[in-house]
Amino acid sequence: MLEQNAWFTEIHNRDGSAFSLRVRAKLHEERTPYQTIAIYETTDFGRLMVIDGCTMVSDRENFIYHEMMAHPALFIHPAPRRVAIIGGGDCGTLREVLKHPEVVEAVQIDIDERVTRLAEQYFPELVSANDDPRARLLFDDGIAWVRAAPPGALDLIIVDSTDPVGPAEGLFSAAFYADCWRALGPGGLLIQQSESPLYHQRLLAEMREAMQGAGFVDVKSLFFPQPIYPSGWWSAMLACKDGPIEGFREQAVAARAFATRYYNAAIHRAAFAIPEFMYRR
């Protein structure tokens, strides 16, 4: 147990901000060949996973991020059958993907098996779909896996990775996007977590240019709140291999047989609204 009012704090040095959660206990910490993973019991956010000092998921708020990394792209694609998740080791995004009956295969490639094993131990809700026969969990470098993927093998690639440093750095490169473009079939979509629109505008611009340079015909940003990440305001970048990103299967959203806690058709439309400052470079 930690002293009465102990706090976990992530300091964002470059941006002069920090984020804290009050914690009761540190439940686990280990150094894997890739990163240091810690699990905390908080007083008000349930359990918290931290990787290399950066918050990843907590029980209380992860539904926003996991729903927004999965449902907008899945309801934009006309027939999303074959999905790959790069990263996503906590398995929350996989759970959301498997809610879609059109999906026949969801393969998740995380470089660090320990993230998933710790999610199984401390975040049972996040791994609740892992036994779905359509799910396949691989533990490998997502960069190499996509490079080796057969051309046109996938309808959707979701990159749910850590920040663009360390093992995740190459997931934000033009070469990786070119491999994604080749691995996607007609109408294929790539969606990638793209950090904070407030703190990381240059990264968003660089990602957009690199995706367009890799051949993606249309690239759009979507925005959503992310209480435990730097600035509390997050984004994802959505790219279509060979056509415009316009509209979505709105009837399917209304008729969906599964529950969501954040995503719905109004949220889908609002998420693609562009803040005024982003029109000015």
Tell me which residues are annotated as active site: 160
Residue 52: which region, alpha, beta or left (left: phi > 0; alpha: psi -120 to 50)? Answer: left
Helix (H) or strand (E) holding 272: none
Q: C-beta of 66: minimal distance to ligand SAM in Å?
A: 8
Residue 183 within binding range of ligand SAM, rule CB under 6 A: no
Residue 56 within binding range of ligand SAM, rule CB under 6 A: yes
Piece of the chain touching ligand SAM by CB under 6 A; list 76-84, 107-115, 146-154, 202-210: 107-115
Pick the closer one to ligand SAM by CB: 110 or 155: 110
Burial class (CB in 10 A: 0-12, 13-18, 19+), 150: exposed
Residue 88 within binding range of ligand SAM, rule CB under 6 A: yes
Angle CA 264–204–241, to nearest 5: 70
Piece of the chain touching ligand SAM by CB under 6 A; list 3-11, 96-104, 161-169, 248-256: 161-169
Q: Which residues contact 242 (CB under 8 A, 6 or more apart)?
A: 186, 187, 188, 217
Residue 89 within binding range of ligand SAM, rule CB under 6 A: yes
Residue 110 within binding range of ligand SAM, rule CB under 6 A: yes
Q: C-beta of 123: minimal distance to ligand SAM in Å?
A: 10
Residue by residue, DSSP assigns 95-155 as HHHTT-TT--EEEEEES-HHHHHHHHHH-TTTTTTTT-TTEEEEES-HHHHHHHSPTT-EE
Q: C-beta of 226: minimal distance to ligand SAM in Å?
A: 8
Beta-bridge partners for 111: none
Residue 97 within binding range of ligand SAM, rule CB under 6 A: no
Q: Which residues bind ligand SAM (CB under 6 A)?
A: 34, 51, 56, 65, 86-90, 109-112, 115, 141-143, 160-162, 167-168, 171, 193
